[in-house]
Amino acid sequence: VENRDGQAPESYSLNQNYPNPFNNSTLLSFSLPHSSFVELEIIDMNGRTVKVFVNENMAAGSHELRWDGTNELGEVMPSGVYFYQIRADDFTASKKLLLVK
């Protein structure tokens, strides 16, 4: 996870991934107004966790990460609709993404 700038945003946010739909990889970005414990994961349509990206304390700022369409074991996931969800302090948000192979 990369902090994109040195300034802290004013509020929490989870942005729409880009590109969407995607084939090889997609960029996920989010913002934290202050240092927080963050959980960010990819979830399939059945509610199962596919991949956990973040499960740690993170500094305030704008962050981004790239998902290559693989699960925790490095296996390529099939085409379909997935969700990514963030939890940080009292903030929870999720967005839908589409993997097309």
pLDDT tens column, 15-71 = 999 999 999 999 999 999 999 999 999 999 999 999 999 999 999 999 999 999 999
pLDDT given at position 8: 77
**Are the beta carbons of 7 and 48 closer than 8 angstroms?**
no
Q: pTM (2 decimals)?
A: 0.89
pLDDT tens column, 66-91 = 999 999 999 999 999 999 999 999 99
Please, which pLDDT band fits residue 101 given cuts at 50, 70 and 90? confident
Q: How far apart are CA 68 and CA 71, in angstroms?
A: 9
